[in-house]
A = this chain, B = another copy of it.
Amino acid sequence: MIKRLAEEIKKKEAPIVVGLDPMLSYIPDDIVKKAFAERGESLEGAAAAVLEFNKGLLDAVSDLIPAVKPQIAMYEQFGIPGLQAFKETVDYAHEKGLVVIGDVKRGDIGSTSAAYATAHLGTVKVGGQELTPFGEDIATVNPYLGTDGIKPFLDVCNSHDKGIFVLVKTSNPSSGEFQDRIIDGRPLYEWVAEKVNEWGALSMDGDYSNVGAVVGATYPEMGAALRKIMPKAYILVPGYGAQGGRGKDLKGFFNEDGLGAIVNSSRGIIAAWKKDDYAGMSYQDAARKAVLDMKEDLKEAF
């Protein structure tokens, strides 16, 4: 799957993933009102607003980008109807030809991790049928439980041509509490990175591995160091824009071929219409313009 993602990035000339992390406050009033009128002030109503908003965003920006990253928490908070909207967002993004990165940060052990891998990347056997539960292409995974938690995902990566991004160094202010602690002279996140290499060797796909890494844009020096430690891992870079990351800071996350990283922006694109820079534009026009502006800004990374 990582080979396909890299090809799409080259084709679109955009190492950009749009985070579909809708809050109700990001959605224009007319969409929310229509959804509430049709489905009530209910989980169903909220989910309908989210789905309508997402479809509008996908219509506006799909031709510019290789991938989207729906953050499942934002859907899970609306219960079953919210997760139905997540699934329909995945399906609609696929109709638009996009790679879908499920930002699910799952991680457990043994048969439980296998069930998560099945849920998000695989197929489940029910009687004589093989069925697709959610059907993302790539999922984010938490490494705290070690190899037992990752191995079942690798199996599905290999059997179904899928990928994972393992949390290595997250973008948040307190990520250092555990991730930066020094073990035998190196921070924990570097030890996780070494494991990403080890796991990644078990699922190569072209020049890169189906096992990538999440490294926050907010830590550019660590990003540059991790880029060298994990030469075969694609790096998913959250924290651009709203969290403070800027294109010129991101050079170190990329390899010399201009590949090896994909930068996420969520709020900066999907809620662009609420910013002064895009005043007066529709949410769709604002999102499109924000993607183009981000593309321009990222050119400084090369």
Interface: A181 (CB within 8 A)? yes
Nearest to A133 among chain B residues (CB) is B79
Partner among B24, B46, B111, B128 whose Cβ is within 8 Å of the Cβ of A41: B128
Q: Would you call A43 and B143 a contact (CB within 8 A)?
A: no
Interface: A148 (CB within 8 A)? yes
Partner among B73, B80, B144 whose Cβ is within 8 Å of the Cβ of A167: B144
Q: How far is the CB of A104 from chain B (nearest CB, A)?
A: 9
Interface: A118 (CB within 8 A)? yes
- Among the 9-residue stretches A93-101, A170-178, A222-230, the one with 4 or more Cβ atoms under 8 Å from chain B is A170-178
Q: Would you call B174 and A127 a contact (CB within 8 A)?
A: no
User: For window 104-148 of chain A, which residues contact chain B by CB distance below 8 Å?
Assistant: 105-113, 115-116, 118-120, 124, 126-129, 131-134, 142-148
Provide the residues of chain B in CB contact with A92, threshold 8 Å. none
CA distance A119 to B43 in the complex (A): 11
Once A43-B131, A112-B21 are accepted as A-B contacts, the answer to whether A124 and B78 lie under 8 Å apart by CB is yes
Interface: A279 (CB within 8 A)? no
Nearest to A71 among chain B residues (CB) is B112
Provide the residues of chain B in CB contact with A188, threshold 8 Å. 178, 181, 183, 188
Provide the residues of chain B in CB contact with A79, threshold 8 Å. 87, 119, 124, 131-134
CA distance A118 to B23 in the complex (A): 13
Of the four ranges (under 10, 10 to 19, 20 to 34, 35 or more), the interface on chain A belongs to: 35 or more
Once A105-B107, A124-B77, A127-B41 are accepted as A-B contacts, the answer to whether A191 and B170 lie under 8 Å apart by CB is no
Copies of this chain assembled into the complex: 2
Interface: A259 (CB within 8 A)? no
CA distance A10 to B179 in the complex (A): 39
Once A83-B80, A106-B73 are accepted as A-B contacts, the answer to whether A42 and B129 lie under 8 Å apart by CB is yes
Q: Would you call A195 and B177 a contact (CB within 8 A)?
A: yes
Interface: A74 (CB within 8 A)? yes
Q: Would you call B177 and A147 a contact (CB within 8 A)?
A: yes
Interface: A61 (CB within 8 A)? no
User: For window 5-54 of chain A, which residues contact chain B by CB distance below 8 Å?
Assistant: 21, 23-24, 36, 41-43, 45-46
Q: Would you call B77 and A170 a contact (CB within 8 A)?
A: no
5 tightest A-B CB contacts, nearest first: A41-B127, A146-B174, A146-B177, A79-B133, A73-B115
Chain A residues at the B interface, C-beta cutoff of 8 Å: 21, 23-24, 36, 41-43, 45-46, 71, 73-74, 76-80, 82-84, 87, 105-113, 115-116, 118-120, 124, 126-129, 131-134, 142-149, 167, 170-179, 181-184, 188, 191-192, 195
